[in-house]
Amino acid sequence: MNDGDLQSLYSDMLLLRRFDELCLRLKMKDLIYSGYHPYEGQEAVAVGFCGLLGKEDILLSTHRPHGHAVAKGVPAESVLTEMMGRRTGCSGGLGGGMQYIDAAHNFFCGSIVGSNMPIATGFGLAIKQKKLGRVCVCLFGDGASNTGAFHEALNLAAIWKLPVLFVCENNQYAEAMPAKEFVACERISRRARGYGLDEITVDGNDVEATRRVAADLVARIRKGEGPFLAEALTYRLRGHYVGDPEATYRTTEEVNAWREKEPLKLAREKLLLSGVSAWALDAADQAVKDKLETLQEWAVRQEFPTLEQSVDHVYMPLPQGGLVCR
């Protein structure tokens, strides 16, 4: 992979970082209503895996979805305004920051840990049976690997040889519970062996590595070699939600140590070493910030959904009518 590639991966990560920071500010102003799950520090996973996918590929995300969504190509406008509960959001402002769907971009997320994994098998089944050549990527965290849904999904995907890439975004903490204490094995990727799958682990802070692994596995899945489970080791630099009592479960020293190896810092250092000028990187950063500032100004002007719209799409109409929810 040449520096040009790293530069584009870096700018993709930069967009996610600045987007996350914008969300944080909006949360502080109470313009994002639900608990906000910051993404800072995990950008190399989203860019490496989600950024590789085409519009037709399926992405199933988690309760910390905005980085995945933007990296997949869901317009930032519809992600941001969904988080702000506005009508222009991809779920019409009815889903909020943890559960929304952009059908046109084949993006789905939800706030029940682990429950997207069984659903991924269904997308995989349809892709395989209809010979669509697409891939379904299902992201989940270290916490989800402790659910029953994880096991049921991986077993079914493996026995039916489904075109699904399960990506464990191990950010070391399930809410306040450290993976090293609450996951019974050292590597979640080792659990893949229980389903007859290879054990694949990648440095989730190295965007070139995540992209390389993603590209390899996605290509193999398109050739019919799926499913795969890959574990990307990363770190959640902020709390589970904004304002969580972080001191109850980790030290500032630990967080600071991980800040030294966070993905944007690593990529930037590598780019500088390769001769890219700091000025160019800073100019690109400013351009992203300007773009997001404009986005925010637009977003706060958007309308909220009405009471009528909140019951609009509960059901598809029956042929004889009779499904009124008002």
Residues that bind other proteins (CB under 8 A): 90-92, 94-95, 99-104, 108, 110, 112, 115, 117-127, 129-130, 136, 148-149, 152-153, 155-156, 159, 312-316, 318-320, 322-323, 325
Q: Shortest distance, CB of residue 112 to other proteins, whole angstroms?
A: 5
Instruction: Choose between 99 and 189: whose C-beta lies nearer to other proteins.
Output: 99
Q: Shortest distance, CB of residue 278 to other proteins, whole angstroms?
A: 43
Instruction: Choose between 42 and 88: whose C-beta lies nearer to other proteins.
Output: 88
Instruction: Choose between 22 and 120: whose C-beta lies nearer to other proteins.
Output: 120
Q: Which residue has the tokens 């102003």?
A: 29
Instruction: Choose between 91 and 189: whose C-beta lies nearer to other proteins.
Output: 91
Rg of the chain, C-alpha, whole Å: 20
Cβ(140)–Cβ(158) below 8 Å: no
Instruction: Choose between 204 and 227: whose C-beta lies nearer to other proteins.
Output: 227
Instruction: Choose between 60 and 233: whose C-beta lies nearer to other proteins.
Output: 60
Q: Shortest distance, CB of residue 271 to other proteins, whole angstroms?
A: 39
Cβ(135)–Cβ(58) below 8 Å: yes
Six token digits for residue 298? 């637009």
Q: Shortest distance, CB of residue 91 to other proteins, whole angstroms?
A: 5
255 φ/ψ angles, rounded to the nearest 5 degrees: -65, -45
Q: Shortest distance, CB of residue 173 to other proteins, whole angstroms?
A: 22
Q: Shortest distance, CB of residue 41 to other proteins, whole angstroms?
A: 28
Q: Shortest distance, CB of residue 202 to other proteins, whole angstroms?
A: 25
Residues 6 or more apart from 48 whose CB is under 8 A from it? 9, 202, 204, 207, 209, 210, 211, 213, 214, 232
Cβ(139)–Cβ(68) below 8 Å: yes
Instruction: Choose between 68 and 211: whose C-beta lies nearer to other proteins.
Output: 68
Residues 6 or more apart from 47 whose CB is under 8 A from it? 9, 12, 13, 16, 71, 207, 210, 211
Residue spans of alpha helices (H) in the chain = 3-28, 43-49, 66-72, 76-83, 116-129, 148-159, 179-182, 207-222, 252-259, 263-273, 278-299
Give the whole-angstrom CA distance, residue 110 versus residue 140.
11
Give the whole-angstrom CA distance, residue 69 versus residue 315.
26
Instruction: Choose between 103 and 184: whose C-beta lies nearer to other proteins.
Output: 103
Q: Shortest distance, CB of residue 10 to other proteins, whole angstroms?
A: 33
Beta bridge partners of 164: 136
Please give the biggest Cα pair distance in the chain.
68
Cβ(68)–Cβ(133) below 8 Å: no
